[in-house]
Structure 1
Amino acid sequence: MSYPTPRRRPRSLARIAVAVACASVMTFSGLPVLTGGVEAAPKAKRCDEMYGVRGDPAKPGGLPADSTIRREADWDEYEFDNPRQAMDGLTLPSDPAERTKFLDEIGEDSSRYKEGDPKRVYATYNNNQKNGTRPFAGTFDEWLNEVYIENYARNRRGAAFTAKIVRDLNLVGPDWLCEEYILDKDGKTIRKYDAANHRTKEFVEFKSGGAHDTSQPPKDRVVLKDPRYQDYKLRYAFGQEQEPKTRTAVRNLGADIGNDAQGRPRVTTYEHRSTAVVRYTPGPHSRYDSTLNAKPGVNQGSRGGGNDMINRSAPNPETARQQIERARQLDTTGQRVRGPGGVDFSTLELRFVGAPVKGEGLDYSFSAKKMPDPDTNPGAGGKEKAELVSDSFFTWLALTPDKFWVNLNPDQPDKIMDDRFGETDAGRVLLEADLDMKHDFAQTMNPSTDRGARFWDSLSRVDGRPCLHSIRNWIVPQPAQVREQDGGIYILDAPLKVNSVPQEVNTPVPGGTCDLTKAQIEHNQSLVNTMILPEVEKKINNHAAYADLRRVYTSRVAAEWIRLQDAEKATDYRAIINSNEVSRWPIRGAKWDKNETWQRYLKSFKEGDYSFEREYGGRVYVYTVGGVDFSQAPKKNITKSEFTTAHPHLPRTTQTSVKAMTDDAETKNILYLGGNTTVKASRGGGATPEPPSNDGGSGGGLPITGDSLPIGLVLTFAAALIAVGSGMLWWTRRRRRFQS
């Protein structure tokens, strides 16, 4: 047995000797000492070289000198790879015994399995639960998304955002250095900055989201008060709107550090608003859902940034707070982006549906308000609201429009609503909204309020007391403001209206009837129309109590548009339209009966919502009858110039939202989030799996980031160098013996 004679052996052995010597210094002395007695931290590298960015060093680059936000016209997106996103559909057996057996068979050693193999995921989770210093306390699904997938994404997303900033702001040339370590007089690391420019005297910290690392401001104080850096500035650059706690922390830091000699703040923030879009290929282990999907199937269905947020949304505020707390603990670096806790799902509405191309599905987008303080009051219940939107959409398609009404009339217990419509959540929402409207109508006339007192004092009188005729009130859609463009329809506004007319009923009313003349009735109705209806309409269009009604109405507008498209050319929805088959979308949640709602209404009608006594004495009751009629879905398609003027950024925002949740560039407190109805396992960007920096296993899965040099990692690497060096020396000597 022989080996080929190695070439240039003396130089190889010299290299081995150097490696062993360096490793020995690193192992036993810490970091190697350079000439001059200065401790060696990792040397900063030119930002353009580190991130492979081309620019023009001759052109001035840099961050804004004052705290500001990127102008809305420039908001855009950037991509980063995270193949683990394709594993978000994995589940464990629900039975505890079966789950334990399943995990025991897979084991705890994730290195046995390749990246992309679901067994690697299960083994990592198993190791975390059995051997982790901080076993994850939530469910497997929460661990999968919050640890296994997110830990893998965090550094990649942060690096992609940094590269984007370097490129967008032209932070190129020899003056712009990235990964700059600041040492104290003893050579110990105080702080690591993402970028520094010692010519312009500024440090920069990049955050792809809107959070911050709570350990950094104290270190920033030390650096910025150091005589060496007393005229330096610190600039924070965020990819999203700053979280309230971050804004407070940076503001406090700035107040402590003060201004420079020219009176300008030394600590500033810049929000380089841009949306991170994950790149991966959906596969057989991905989660697909049925949102707006006409034909859900194996390894296919709706997916998108909105779907991810909705599926990860906690079911209630308490579990949402637990989710937020876990996110803080897992993200010590402040690199997290806005999660489902930052979304007010109670305001979720469908705002765009794209072209319904047969076999290709369609893009869709929701809007929702931001939670103003998710740390203390996070959003929850996203799945429930999205299901209502989707189920209502299909209800409006499946049933013929003549069934889209409800009616609460004391004389008509047999005409509450169509039976099939009564089997759906859309029907339930309409009937409950009708009853709520009647209560609100009565309360708006309550004479204990200034408006109610003026209303009753202005009514026609019979025998010295105010008397009100019976009224029929019902809710109808007003024309929705839409724009048909880009192959789809933008639903800009979908207001609702309350109609009111006099109506006689046979059912006895409390307090008896009023014998009013036609002129008196017209006078009273005029007061109702001017003093009461506007307030009730305002509540229906804005109050949280009617959010579900508004939600199902926007779904009605979208469904009607799909009907029109299908009439021209067959879509995936053709078999559903006018089928009168709604068994796929039954009422979810607690059991509901339309007759029980009617009985509650009848009680209110007979007994009154309230009573009061005035100077004229006696008891007066308010009673109303009416309904909700969605049989029509009127819309007004605004012109292109009107749309462009009023909503210049909406097309871009909508397109981005299909891939990832994003800020609305036109309304500060609004988010857009969406997806596509027919994403398939074979469709996607296709990111090649790479070795992960952390599996999210033992200690909760924290990535190696932060200010301090990871000495433990250096020591481990140094020990490995010694082992490799010794092994190579042994191997070289062994070869000589074989060759002699």
Structure 2
Amino acid sequence: MSYPRVRFRAYLLLRSLVAAVCAVLLAVGAVPVASAAAPAPRTPKRCDEWAKLTGNPSKPGTLPVGNETRVKSAWDTYDYVNQRQSMDGLAAPTPDDLLKAGTDPDVWKEGDPRKVYASYNRRQTTSRPYTGTFQDWLNDAYIENAARRTRGEAFHKKVVQDLNLVGPDWLCEVDIDVKDADGKVIRRLYDAVNHKTKEFVEIKSGGAVDDTQVPKDRQVLKDPRFKDYSLRYVFGQEPEASTTTRLRGLSTGAGQHPDGKSRVTAYQHRSTPVVRFTPGPHTKFDPTLNPNPQANSGSRGGLNDMLNQSKPTPESMRQQMERIRQGDPTGQRLRGPGGVDFSTLELRFVGAPVRGEGLDYSFTAEKMPDPDTNPGFGGQEQAQLISDSFFTWLALTPEKFWVNLNPDEPQRVMDAQFGKTDAGRVLLEADLQMKHDFVAAMNPKTELGRQFWDENQLTNGLPCLHGIRNWIEPEPAQVREQDGGIYILDAPLKVNSVPQEFDFDLPGDPCKPTKAQIEHNQKIVEKLIVPAVEKKISQDPAYAELRRVYTSRVAAEWIRLQDANKATDYHTIINSGDVSKWPIRGEKWDFNETWQQYLKSFRDGDYKFEWEAGGQVYVYTMGGVDFSKSPKENVSTQKFTAEHQYLPRSTRTSVQTMTDDAESDDLLLLGGNTRAKPTTGDAGTPPGGGGSDDPPAGGGGGGLPITGDSVPVPVLVCVALALILAGAALTWRSRRRRRIFVS
């Protein structure tokens, strides 16, 4: 009976030795590994088996030979899971929260705030702590890094299936080893390889490349074994400008095939990723178009995701873009808020306002051509302006939607309630801007101004322009009522101009044009000046807010009409006269200050100029904006289908996530739903559930970065020794049991 006692003592001694070794390793640091041999290349799998395709795969496919883009009729979406998205509304931790969470996220379950705080704690105690806010880190590191593997893998599998990369010759996850000029082995992992057709394939769900992979590509293409091979990059989004530049340089260095075709090509397999997750108590919602936002409900969608990450100023957004780039060495980021020109944001679709079901909505915005150096910003401010204006148009009755700058009517500038809203502010400021632009267009120092005065009839040898009243009002909006909602295709604004006398005493010698001269000169105004000002109103950034609030006016009017037929969630707001929930944001504004600015401009003139024949000419105008009516014209089915065949599909996608507009290379669509219908799915623990918030150093190849924790070498050695110890103990225990049984 002494033998088991001896073995037990040996086991205790071995355990003590292992503990001692681990203590030394953890105290000293990592075990040197430079001399260790490189791991053997992984064993590739057939792509159809790797992607777990079922059924009988069709004939193996081929990738486009040149730089091509997937046909627009085939653009679609694909799903990926990231349950961490449900944590995007988590509040910043207090010192006590961080103390309780510790620095080991593995001890907490997914969805527990302590897991997030522990991961943040660990990051902030490293040699390179995150420099942005907690919310920035939460979105751009904790949530985004967990999404990269599942999103990249989902797109990889989609490409395999869509392009029929099947059969024994298409292999996925293939290591290619080459040597550089110094004889050092360089390993490049490709998403797919076909040695029969001599193709390497790199698949990216976004539009960026991995900074660490392109130099390796260069070495692979220089290797004599692969001199006849082609490198095909497959992108899920439009490649960024910097990506196109880098691939062009890579192509130039690789040369061409004997047939003159490039060895390096980019194929845009355009498809939009849609995240699946189950919302929870820490999911962020916003009040966009929501009639009754509450703590754990509200609007959610692609617009919401972009607003969460948008910064208020160009400089703060540039800093955020730099942090995003530093955290994305593998080139897996999708187009983010820096790629959205929020100054062009406009509401372009609202769905059926069914009570209790929420409202689908979609916005458009132009792309920023160079988001890295000149990113878009101010998303929250612009979205709030649209949403607040939408509610203003519902709460007040339409006869109040006007402003008036007339020196003879100081008491009738605008409705008092309307003057407490941003919609009212925008209209009055646009009216004053229009007045300035109108007289500027008449300036004889410009080509248009010279033509205008040359065509005017003179009085006693001098120009004698009559008083003019100009105001902005809507042209009929081009809309399409379809799919239970309304598409706002175009919402043009026009300038009306009429002669009008006024009693206000002005400087200078008064002139008295005849009726015939007034009619003649007014025609010149309408022929030359009005079109120039209308063009400015429709295109110039100075009127972007006016255009923005008017599209929301069209949408609100449609909701108003639907509610008249059947009560909607907006029923108690409509015609309530209460705009207290949507006051003017930002700096204090008083419409009387704008009136005084106009009065000074009118009294003194925007400018005056000397006439060649002697004397001075003053220019005076009056203005106004009238949105009391919102006329619309429903385009026919035939015209809508012919000119906007992809719009319904893109709009449906935009309710879930931001997407490209298939009809315009310069536009994005982003929207949501006011009751946050979640895109739920298999929301299990996401890859990287160990709590990593940083991508792996050096990239993982294939565009699928590891999202789990990077474990220090001493810990790995200790774990290995512990496993050996555990194995020895189990073996001994097993033998011990067997001997007892036999005896």
User: After TM superposition, is the score higher than 0.5?
Assistant: yes
Per-residue deviation at 1:684? 4.2
TM-score (norm 2): 0.91
Alignment-mate amino acid for residue 147 of structure 2? A
Per-residue deviation at 1:699? 5.9
Which shifted more, 145-154 or 169-178? 169-178
Alignment-mate amino acid for residue 49 of structure 2? E
Per-residue deviation at 1:722? 5.1
- Equivalent residue, structure 1, for 2:620: 623
Alignment-mate amino acid for residue 724 of structure 1? L
1:476 to 465, 473, 478: 473
1:149 correspondence with 2:146: no
TM-score (norm 1): 0.91
Give the 3-state SS of the residue equivalent to 2:80 in structure 1. Answer: strand
Deviations 1:101-154 (A, max 9, x none): 33223322212210111111112112211x223110000000000000000001
Alignment-mate amino acid for residue 224 of structure 2? P
- Equivalent residue, structure 1, for 2:116: 121
1:276 correspondence with 2:284: no
Counting only pairs closer than 5 Å after superposition, residues 6-405 of structure 1 correspond to structure 2 as: 30=36, 40-54=40-54, 57=57, 59-92=59-92, 99-129=94-124, 131-184=125-178, 188-405=185-402
- Equivalent residue, structure 2, for 1:733: 732
Indicate if the aligned counterparts of 2:431 and 2:623 stay in contact, CA closer than 8 A.
Answer: yes
Per-residue deviation at 1:223? 0.7
- Equivalent residue, structure 2, for 1:10: none
Per-residue deviation at 1:40? 2.0
Deviations 1:532-558 (A, max 9, x none): 000000000011110000000000000
Distance in 2, matches of 1:695 and 1:431, equals 55
Distance 1:694 1:317, change over 3 A: farther
Alignment-mate amino acid for residue 542 of structure 1? Q
Corresponding residue pairs, total? 701
Indicate if the aligned counterparts of 1:694 and 1:702 stay in contact, CA closer than 8 A.
Answer: no
Give the 3-state SS of the residue equivalent to 2:628 in structure 1. Answer: coil
Distance 1:150 1:66, change over 3 A: same
Distance 1:470 1:268, change over 3 A: same
Give the 3-state SS of the residue equivalent to 1:276 in structure 2. Answer: strand
Distance in 2, matches of 1:62 and 1:31, equals 37
Give the 3-state SS of the residue equivalent to 2:674 in structure 1. Answer: strand
Per-residue deviation at 1:216? 1.9
Deviations 1:572-597 (A, max 9, x none): 00000000100000000011000000
Indicate if the aligned counterparts of 2:186 and 2:216 stay in contact, CA closer than 8 A.
Answer: no
Give the 3-state SS of the residue equivalent to 1:678 in structure 2. Answer: coil
Indicate if the aligned counterparts of 2:472 and 2:626 stay in contact, CA closer than 8 A.
Answer: yes
Per-residue deviation at 1:498? 0.3
Distance in 1, matches of 2:711 and 2:119, equals 21
- Equivalent residue, structure 1, for 2:654: 657
Deviations 1:340-382 (A, max 9, x none): 0000000000000000010111100000000011111000000
Distance in 2, matches of 1:63 and 1:409, equals 66
Indicate if the aligned counterparts of 1:151 and 1:702 stay in contact, CA closer than 8 A.
Answer: no
Distance in 2, matches of 1:28 and 1:574, equals 71
Identity %: 60
Per-residue deviation at 1:74? 0.6
Alignment-mate amino acid for residue 291 of structure 1? T
**Structure 1: where are the runs of 5+ without partners?**
1-25, 33-38, 94-98
Per-residue deviation at 1:422? 0.2
Distance in 1, matches of 2:342 and 2:561, equals 29
Give the 3-state SS of the residue equivalent to 2:622 in structure 1. Answer: strand
Per-residue deviation at 1:220? 1.2
Which shifted more, 168-177 or 482-491? 168-177
Indicate if the aligned counterparts of 2:60 and 2:167 stay in contact, CA closer than 8 A.
Answer: no
- Equivalent residue, structure 1, for 2:682: 687
Give the 3-state SS of the residue equivalent to 1:558 in structure 2. Answer: helix
RMSD: 2.2
Deviations 1:53-85 (A, max 9, x none): 247555130210111111111111000000000
1:433 correspondence with 2:430: yes
1:555 correspondence with 2:552: yes
Give the 3-state SS of the residue equivalent to 1:597 in structure 2. Answer: helix
Alignment-mate amino acid for residue 176 of structure 2? I
Indicate if the aligned counterparts of 1:455 and 1:527 stay in contact, CA closer than 8 A.
Answer: yes
Alignment-mate amino acid for residue 207 of structure 2? G
Distance in 2, matches of 1:468 and 1:59, equals 78
Distance 1:58 1:407, change over 3 A: closer
Distance 1:295 1:691, change over 3 A: closer
Distance 1:107 1:505, change over 3 A: same
Give the 3-state SS of the residue equivalent to 2:362 in structure 1. Answer: strand
Indicate if the aligned counterparts of 1:82 and 1:687 stay in contact, CA closer than 8 A.
Answer: no
- Equivalent residue, structure 2, for 1:705: 700
Which shifted more, 525-534 or 721-730? 721-730
Distance in 2, matches of 1:694 and 1:721, equals 22
Distance in 2, matches of 1:225 and 1:491, equals 53
Per-residue deviation at 1:510? 3.3
Distance in 1, matches of 2:308 and 2:380, equals 6
Indicate if the aligned counterparts of 1:480 and 1:493 stay in contact, CA closer than 8 A.
Answer: yes
Distance 1:343 1:696, change over 3 A: farther
**Structure 2: where are the runs of 5+ without partners?**
1-31
Per-residue deviation at 1:514? 2.0
Indicate if the aligned counterparts of 2:203 and 2:702 stay in contact, CA closer than 8 A.
Answer: no
1:410 correspondence with 2:407: yes
Distance 1:699 1:88, change over 3 A: closer
Indicate if the aligned counterparts of 2:145 and 2:693 stay in contact, CA closer than 8 A.
Answer: no
Distance in 2, matches of 1:616 and 1:119, equals 82
Alignment-mate amino acid for residue 729 of structure 1? A
